[in-house]
A and B are shown apart, each in its own frame.
Chain A
């Protein structure tokens, strides 16, 4: 086969809906070869957890163009579900996990209806309020949640086999992330995904073409809340401990930063954004007191020099087919 034919084949492959999975799967499989200790597995597991939450938020922000500054609230719902369910209600961890996701969907559905009518800054403030509200519930209902000190989370057991060990978690979370990526990529290449991207650019044009804007926004808000909830449950299970900080305002901002840094509307970008904001603080501990300053500087520089996000900009530079 000639070079040209091969290149055409590759082009065709590149157009496939699930093409982004190729680099993602490669990363997941090859990373462990570089890991000298269990500590690295743990950090990578955390990266996948936040990548799931960021991916859900990216569906809302990058595709539908709606901002949420309260998504950590849904992480909190998921996290406390796997803590409270087994401890206080005797519900097995796995069912608590699913119930948490369903509860998050319900909260998003009920709250989303009125607040998604708001636009831009107003929506941002309303979602911020939602996040703050959930965080306050978690720290005030001390009988259930242990208050600001938090509570321990029972281990996830499957058929009497208790999940422990950073490498086990690495594989579970890697697969979970890949599954969430497949679902997101599927959605993007569907009538729903197209409608969401249309809403992002012009709501009025989408409406005159028959797109029910309010319903689509609500739907994607619910989906993104479920993503956050799943990530929150995993975080609680991985750490074995949970405090209200999981749903705090700073967490919500961190999620937004991951989406924007990695690239709005980029599935791979959500993983990269999460990796940057999870790994950098670990790597920067050698700057001691200046750690946060350096982190801030790096984030600012990325935004200045790679506007549009890391992944879209790099892809454009490598592909060289930017308009």
Chain B
């Protein structure tokens, strides 16, 4: 069964049909990439899937269940997590405290137990901290655990956000441009992290502009242009699709590129 599926998702902002009847199916444990030129509707599509804004039309299914327009916190509890293009970090908290929030959906909370700090709360705090430390180690930030998160470099913030999502042990993880603004070394690190997800059985849906990263990690690529599906398939298939090349480079650019290769 597919872990995530979108059926004819659509939304319009004013007269602009930002996402227009997009459908896809994501098989478990794969890296599914959504690419397309700027303004193609990739981030909007993410917002529809992750409950940030409800679609005008269409359905989202998570593990077969209809989750269309559920708020993000309920999607998170059902195992769908995401990161943001501009890292949304809890900047006043330490690095490890950020990741501990990722464990929230697995924690038992009760206001009375928390106020009285019953023994169970203390035990749970320790387990949460251990799990968070593990997630930090996965992205290579373990040495910065006690730093204030607001003081991290941009590339580290990106990895921190991934660690936080990882700590929530999602079934599906939406990564919105995880390598944006990262240098080549940082991009390689993120590539390794994404590859590692498959080993944990986490299904990744990736939006990314760095084509090398996309081609290296993707099992399946979905191409958007002007809010519509343009092409779909494996990396090699999409790369050689003339419509895709044209969408990225324009008609003239595509002809030039073809000339350069040939």
Contacts and interface: CB of A to CB of B under 8 A. Distances in A.
Given A189-B125, A190-B125, A195-B104, A204 B72 contact: yes
B220 to A, nearest CB: 23
Contact of A200 (B72, B92, B164): B92
Interface stretch (B8-16, B30-38, B115-123, B184-192): B115-123
A205 interface: yes
11 contacts: A189-B117, A191-B104, A191-B107, A191-B124, A201-B93, A202-B90, A207-B76, A208-B73, A208-B75, A223-B111, A323-B151
Interface stretch (B77-85, B206-214, B249-257): B77-85
Contact of A195 (B52, B101, B151): B101
B5 interface: no
B55 to A, nearest CB: 17
Given A205-B88, A208-B76, A219-B111, A190 B121 contact: yes
B50 interface: yes
Interface in B89-140: 89-93, 97, 100-102, 104-105, 107-109, 111, 113-117, 121, 124-125, 128
Interface of A: 17, 183, 186-187, 189-195, 197-198, 200-202, 204-213, 219, 223, 323
Nearest to A223: B111
B111 A210 contact: no
A208 B148 CA distance: 21
Contacts of B72: 204, 207-208
Contact of B76 (A201, A202, A209, A223): A209
A17 B122 CA distance: 10
Interface of B: 50, 52, 71-73, 75-77, 81-82, 84, 88-93, 97, 100-102, 104-105, 107-109, 111, 113-117, 121, 124-125, 128, 148, 151, 164-165, 168
A211 B90 contact: no
Given A191-B109, A201-B90, A210-B73, A17 B101 contact: no
A195 B97 CA distance: 10
B69 to A, nearest CB: 14
Nearest to A200: B92
A194 B97 contact: yes
Contacts of B107: 191
Nearest to B71: A207
B93 A323 contact: no
Contact of B50 (A189, A208, A210, A213): A208
Closest 10 CB pairs of A and B: A210-B105, A210-B76, A190-B114, A205-B88, A186-B117, A201-B90, A207-B72, A191-B109, A191-B107, A202-B88
Contact of B117 (A17, A202, A213, A323): A17
B93 A197 contact: yes
Nearest to A183: B115
